[in-house]
């Protein structure tokens, strides 16, 4: 059996559902597929979204999707704590199981056809990366789909990229996260996300991201692991401040996964294929915030794809349109990331500098200069800052 469509979207996560919605709204015959049986399950996420990105979304998120209010973030390193509020640090906890289903329902309502338990397993491609046919395994056998445009929204381990012939260096480009949802916690500041920096999370951070007064996503995210994440996680749990809050806590769900730390490939457009979301490394560092950027970029990909099939737009306009919307944030995010990458080799001093960088209490260019000082004077400097930034 062969199916013909205008736009085939691979993946029904935030990027894919948003892309499918946009393409269908602009009257492209749109099919979106996901290998999952149930959209949004399993959750591989810490489920926090930044308030600053809400005005950039193509549609409003209803209040019932915003399950918990986050007023700010605390940053901890070497026993020093800095608290930030508002701006980049305020947001909401969401429930990805419901959120992803809601997004997919928007696409279906716009007219896109959703197929779950449908895994892209092969592509027929010409030598200019033009996809002619996609082969999709379903419970009823393998079907072929003939699309005009493909949107690769299939996440950090993108099958589309693999089937186009790209070899992704996972060790170099992907970060790893070991995370759990825990309940029955004694959270001290339940309306703040808590970030912990130290050698228990090389190149990344450990976190407690509340979802309610007594529940939170807890985990370690690292870029340069030299031992198992379980060992790092155990070390993180030994921090007295963490122990106190998690004591008596119960793990209800594992939510581990991988995140893109660097571009997996050089471009966002290959032949008739557009990359969106994690497959395109469209997230904001240092927190690797990918949910809302994926929705924003997915929407642009869907609009561009629809315009291409209608003959009123060019596929190459996609990167420019993404940069118009998120360019400033993505540029800054790359700059922060490259400085942060260089800090983890400096051990305890690096953790303190990383705190300055992530909490944005010292300008980027001054962090490098501060790094030339001894550990004790860096610590003293940051202790003074922590008084100024209202931490307890
Ligand atoms: C542990 C962890 C914590 C995170 N915490 C946060 C956070 O707090 N805030 C935040 O903003 N971001 C967070 N992120 C990042 C965020 O989850 C991603 O950036 C976001 O999900 C990207 O959306 P996406 O649609 O591109 O990809 P995904 O959400 O990964 O969706 C891709 C979809 O493609 C499907 N798929 C894959 N291959 C195929 C195939 N061959 N055929 C059919 N379907 C396929 C998958 O089943 C999946 O449903 C976190 C990530 C991890 C791993």
User: pLDDT tens for residues 7-33?
Assistant: 999 999 999 999 999 999 999 999 999
| Of 28, 35, 34, 27, the residue nearest 7 (C-alpha) | 28
Query: What are the domain boundaries of the chain?
Result: 2-42+96-170+261-333, 347-388
pLDDT recorded at residue 391: 52
Count of CB atoms situated within 10 Å of the CB of 115? 17
For atom 26 of ligand 1, the residue with the nearest CA is: 277
Q: Give the model confidence (pLDDT) of 63-95 as tens digits.
A: 999 999 999 999 999 999 999 998 889 999 999
Q: Would the CB of 208 count as within 6 Å of ligand 1?
A: no
pTM of the shown model: 0.97
**Strands 141-152 and 2-10: what pairing?**
parallel
Q: Would the CB of 15 count as within 6 Å of ligand 1?
A: yes
The ligand 1 atom nearest the CA atom of 282: 19
pLDDT recorded at residue 392: 45
The ligand 1 atom nearest the CA atom of 50: 11
Q: Would the CB of 293 count as within 6 Å of ligand 1?
A: no
For atom 21 of ligand 1, the residue with the nearest CA is: 291
Q: Give the model confidence (pLDDT) of 328-362 as tens digits.
A: 999 999 888 888 888 888 889 999 999 999 999 99
**Strands 131-138 and 80-85: what pairing?**
unpaired
Q: Give the model confidence (pLDDT) of 269-283 as tens digits.
A: 999 999 999 999 999
pLDDT recorded at residue 262: 87
Is residue 8 classed as helix, strand or coil in its secondary structure? Answer: strand
The ligand 1 atom nearest the CA atom of 276: 26
Q: Which fold has domain 2-42+96-170+261-333?
A: FAD/NAD(P)-binding domain (3.50.50)
Q: Would the CB of 222 count as within 6 Å of ligand 1?
A: no
Cα 240 to averaged position of ligand 1 atoms, centre (Å): 32
Cα 22 to averaged position of ligand 1 atoms, centre (Å): 19
The ligand 1 atom nearest the CA atom of 277: 26
> Any long-range contacts for 378-387 (C-beta under 8 Å, 24+ apart)?
378/349, 378/352, 378/353, 379/78, 379/80, 379/352, 382/77, 382/80, 382/82, 382/352, 382/355, 382/356, 383/80, 385/82, 385/356, 385/361, 386/80, 386/81, 386/82
The ligand 1 atom nearest the CA atom of 280: 26
């Amino acid at each position: 059996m062969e199916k013909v469509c205008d736009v085939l979207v691979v993946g029904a996560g935030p990027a894919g559902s948003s892309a499918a919605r946009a393409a269908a709204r602009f009257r492209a015959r749109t099919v979106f597929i996901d290998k999952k049986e149930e959209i949004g399950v399993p959750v591989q996420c810490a489920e926090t979204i930044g308030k600053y990105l809400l005005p950039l979304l193509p549609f409003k998120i209803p209040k019932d999707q915003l399950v918990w209010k986050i007023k700010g973030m605390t940053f901890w390193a070497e026993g020093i704590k800095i608290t930030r509020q508002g701006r980049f640090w305020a947001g909401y906890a969401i429930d990805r199981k419901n959120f992803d289903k809601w997004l997919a329902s928007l696409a279906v309502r716009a007219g896109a056809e959703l197929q779950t338990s449908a895994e892209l397993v092969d592509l027929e491609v010409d030598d200019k990366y033009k996809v002619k046919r996609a082969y999709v395994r379903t419970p009823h056998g393998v079907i072929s789909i003939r699309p005009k445009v493909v949107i690769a929204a299939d996440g950090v381990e993108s099958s589309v990229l693999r089937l186009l012939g790209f070899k992704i260096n996972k060790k170099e480009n992907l970060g790893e996260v070991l995370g759990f949802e825990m309940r029955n916690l004694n959270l001290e500041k339940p309306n703040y996300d808590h970030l912990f920096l130290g050698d228990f999370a090389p190149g990344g951070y450990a976190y407690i991201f509340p979802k309610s007064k007594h529940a939170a996503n807890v985990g370690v995210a690292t870029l340069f692991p030299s031992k198992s994440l379980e060992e790092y996680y155990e070390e993180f749990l030994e921090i007295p401040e963490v122990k106190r809050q998690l004591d008596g806590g119960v793990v209800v769900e594992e939510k581990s996964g991988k995140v893109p730390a660097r571009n997996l490939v050089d471009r966002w457009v290959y032949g008739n294929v557009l990359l969106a979301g994690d497959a395109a490394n469209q997230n904001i560092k240092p927190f690797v915030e990918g949910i809302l950027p994926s929705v924003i970029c997915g929407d642009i990909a869907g609009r561009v794809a629809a315009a291409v099939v209608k003959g009123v737009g060019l596929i190459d306009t996609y990167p420019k349109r993404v940069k118009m919307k998120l360019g400033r944030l993505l540029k800054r995010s790359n700059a922060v990331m490259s400085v942060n990458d260089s800090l983890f080799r400096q051990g305890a001093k690096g953790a303190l500098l990383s705190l300055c960088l992530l909490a944005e209490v010292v300008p980027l260019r001054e962090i490098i200069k501060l790094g030339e000082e001894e550990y004790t004077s860096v610590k003293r400097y940051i202790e003074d800052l922590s008084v100024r930034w209202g931490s307890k």
